[in-house]
Structure 1
Amino acid sequence: MNIHKAVPRVYGLLVAQFNTGLPCSISLRLQHNKADVNEHRAKVMARGLPEKKPLPGVKNIILVASGKGGVGKTTTAVNLACAMKVIEPDKEIGLLDADVFGPSVPLMMNISGEPMLNDDNLIEPLLNYGVKCMSMGLLVSGENAVVWRGLMVMQALERLTRGVAWGPLDCLVVDTPPGTGDTHLSLAQNLPIDGAIVVTTPQSAALQVTKRGVNMFEKLKVPIIGLVENMSHAVCFKCGTRNYVFGSETKRTAEQIGLEIIESFEVDSNMSECINSGKPAIYALPDSIHAEKYRQLANKVFKYISDKETDAKATKQ
C-alpha cells in the first residue's frame, strides 16, 4: 500500500517507520520544514483577520498617533485637517476622533449636538471650519464615562468609520488614542491606511514609547510619513533665547529609527487658548509661526499623498 497516497499530506512530509520487531507495525509522523511551518502559520492567522475594505467615498486615510498621551497629538490632528482645508479649499477633508475613551475633538473643533441619521441609516458628520467631523464625544454625554470592554470598543469604531456618511472625501485625518492598543490594530486591519504621522515631545519617556509606536506601525505594514515634535523648546519673551526645557533628544531618536522630523513646534501659551476656545490656531492665529508650520505640514501630507498615487499608477503600468 502506498502510505503517502492513503494519508493526505497536511503540512510537511509524511514519514513512515516500520517496526520489524512487531508484525505489521507502522508509525506515522509529519516531518516539517521551515517553509511548511510559515505557510501554515500565515493561513491560520489569515482566517482570523478581517477583510481590509476602503471607506466608501474616501480616497485617503492618514492616522495621527502617539505612543504617549499629553504630547499634543489631537492638537496636531485638528490643525492638520484645518490647514489642509485652508490651503486646498476645493478638497474635501474629514476628521475622525478615534479616541473612544477620551474624545477631545468636539472641544477643539467647537462642535456639539447629536448627529442626525440619513435615509441610509448613516450618521451625518458635523461640519465646522469646512471639515467634516465625527467623534464618540458627540454620541455620549461629556459628563458620562465610557466604560467598555474591547469588543464594544471595536463595535464603536465600526460605527464611527463605516456607519458614517463620510464621502466624498479627499482625505480623512484620524486622531487615534495614545498607546499601541486595540484601536490601532483594528484600524490597520480593517482600513487601507495610506500613512501615519507619529507625534512626540523631546522627553526621554515620550521618545521611548514613540519607538514602540513606530515598531507597531512597521509590524502592521502602515507606512510612516514622519515625526512631528511638539514642545521642542521655549523662547524667552525678553531676549528671544531658545530654552530646550524638555531636552533635545528627538533628532537622535529620529536618526536611530530612520525617520524624518517633518515639523517641529515650540511651546506657545496661545495654543492653550485656541484649544479652550474651540478655534484652531490655523484660524485663531493665522499669522503665527504655529499656523505657518501647520500649513507646511499640510503641504507635506498632500505631497506624500500625491507621490503615493503617482507610484501606484506607475506600478500598475
Structure 2
Amino acid sequence: MIDGVKHIVAVASGKGGVGKSTVTVNLALALSAQGYRVGVLDADIYGPSQAQMLGVKEGARPKPAGEKHFHPMQAHGIQAMSMAFLVNTREPMVWRGPMVVGAFQQLLTQTLWDNLDFLLIDMPPGTGDIQLTLSQRVPVSGAVIVTTPQDIALLDARKGIEMFRKVNVPVLGIVENMSLYQCEKCGHQAAIFGTGGGDRIAEEYDTQVLGRLPLALSIRELADAGHPSVVSEPESDISKTFGEIAKQVAEQVAGQSHDGPSISFSE
C-alpha cells in the first residue's frame, strides 16, 4: 500500500472525451465535503488537466521533501499531484511508454500523501501501460468507469471493465455522463447520445449505475475556471448527484475491506 493512503480508487474510461477528469475532480470534492481526507493523482501524463480544474496557477510547483520526495499541492481542501506541476504544460510530452510509466510511478510513490482516506486516480484513456502498472504495483480498492450513453463509448467502456476484472480490481460502478441535454432557454430535453446505455452495460457486467449527469454548460465552464460544480454550486442538482455517487463509492469500498471499514461514513 502507498504510505499515507487508505484506499485507492481509479476513475477510468475506455476512450477520451467522456468527461472522466471532470467526474474525477467533482467526485473527489464530493467525498471531501462528506468529511473524508481526499487526494487526486492526475495519471494522464500526456494530457494532464487536474491542475486547471482545481484552479492551481500555471507554473506552481510542489515543495520538495528531501532529495526524492515532494509534498502534494493543496486546492479546495484536497491534496493533488499532476505532471502539470512539474513540467511546462505548453510543451508536448514526447515520451515513449517506459518513460511515461516511470513518471507515473514517481508521482504515485514519491508524493508524501498526508493521511488520505481516498486517493482518486484520474486514469488516462484506454487500457495500456499505466493501467497495468497501477493494478500490478499497488492494491486498488476499486474502479469507477465513466462513459456516455453513446454506443461507441459503451464499446470502449466494456474494454475498461474487462481489463479491471482481469487484474482483479473490483468495478464499483458506472457513471453515465452527458446522459441528457436540457435547453437552458426553453427547458426542452433531448437524449443526444442515446438512452439506456449505462443500464445495459451495468446489467451485462453485474455492476450498477452510480449516477447520471446531464450535458450541462455549467459543468464544463466551472471546471475550466478551476471552481468545479461541487464547490461552486453545492446545492445544485448536479452537485447532489455527485454527492450520491461519492456516498455509494465510499460505502462499497468499506464493504470490501476484510477487516471492516477503517473510516466513518457521514449521513
Place the TM-score, normalised by the shorter chain, in its bin.
over 0.9
CA distance in 2, matches of 1:237, 1:116: 43
Describe the superposition over 1:142-168 as per-residue Cα deviations: whole angstroms up to 9, x where unpaired.
Answer: 111101111111110111011110131
Describe the superposition over 1:257-289 as per-residue Cα deviations: whole angstroms up to 9, x where unpaired.
Answer: 222111100111111210221001001111211
- Counterpart of 2:220 in 1: which secondary structure? helix
- Counterpart of 1:292 in 2: which secondary structure? helix
- The alignment status of 1:285 with 2:233, answered yes or no, reads yes
Letter in 2 for 1:97: D
* Aligned equivalent of 1:313: 259
* Aligned equivalent of 2:40: 95
* Aligned equivalent of 2:189: 242
CA distance in 2, matches of 1:256, 1:290: 27
Unmatched runs of 5 consecutive residues or more in structure 1 = 1-53
- Counterpart of 1:153 in 2: which secondary structure? helix
CA distance in 1, matches of 2:253, 2:104: 24
Asked if structure 1 preserves the Cα contact closer than 8 Å seen for 2:202 and 2:208, the reply is yes
**CA RMSD across the alignment:** 1.3
Structure-1-length-normalised TM-score: 0.78
Question: More displaced, 117-126 or 149-158?
Answer: 117-126
Describe the superposition over 1:77-105 as per-residue Cα deviations: whole angstroms up to 9, x where unpaired.
Answer: 000111111111xx321100000000000
Instruction: Please state how far the C-alpha of 1:233 moved relative to its aligned partner.
Output: 0.8
* Aligned equivalent of 1:294: 242
Describe the superposition over 1:24-63 as per-residue Cα deviations: whole angstroms up to 9, x where unpaired.
Answer: xxxxxxxxxxxxxxxxxxxxxxxxxxxxxx1012110000
Question: More displaced, 297-306 or 124-133?
Answer: 297-306
Describe the superposition over 1:218-243 as per-residue Cα deviations: whole angstroms up to 9, x where unpaired.
Answer: 11111000000000011234554431
CA distance in 2, matches of 1:133, 1:300: 22
CA distance in 2, matches of 1:238, 1:166: 45
Q: 1:78 aligns with which of 11, 25, 30?
A: 25
Q: 2:124 aligns with which of 177, 197, 205?
A: 177
- Counterpart of 1:212 in 2: which secondary structure? helix
Letter in 2 for 1:102: G
* Aligned equivalent of 2:81: 134
| Paired residue total | 257
Alignment of 1:105-120 (within 5 A): 105-112=50-57, 113-119=60-66
Higher relative contact order (CA 8 A, sep 6+): 2
CA distance in 1, matches of 2:254, 2:154: 29
Runs (4+) off by over 6 Å: none
* Aligned equivalent of 1:192: 139
Identity of aligned residues (%): 38
- The alignment status of 1:267 with 2:212, answered yes or no, reads no
Question: More displaced, 234-243 or 298-307?
Answer: 234-243
CA distance in 1, matches of 2:185, 2:225: 27
CA distance in 2, matches of 1:299, 1:256: 24
Letter in 1 for 2:253: I
Letter in 2 for 1:287: E
- The alignment status of 1:62 with 2:9, answered yes or no, reads yes
Structure-2-length-normalised TM-score: 0.93
Instruction: Please state how far the C-alpha of 1:170 moved relative to its aligned partner.
Output: 1.1
Q: 1:214 aligns with which of 119, 142, 161?
A: 161
Asked if structure 1 preserves the Cα contact closer than 8 Å seen for 2:174 and 2:198, the reply is no
Unmatched runs of 5 consecutive residues or more in structure 2 = 261-267
Alignment of 1:147-166 (within 5 A): 147-166=94-113
* Aligned equivalent of 2:173: 226
CA distance in 2, matches of 1:206, 1:293: 21
Change beyond 3 A, Cα 1:298–1:250 = closer
CA distance in 1, matches of 2:245, 2:253: 13
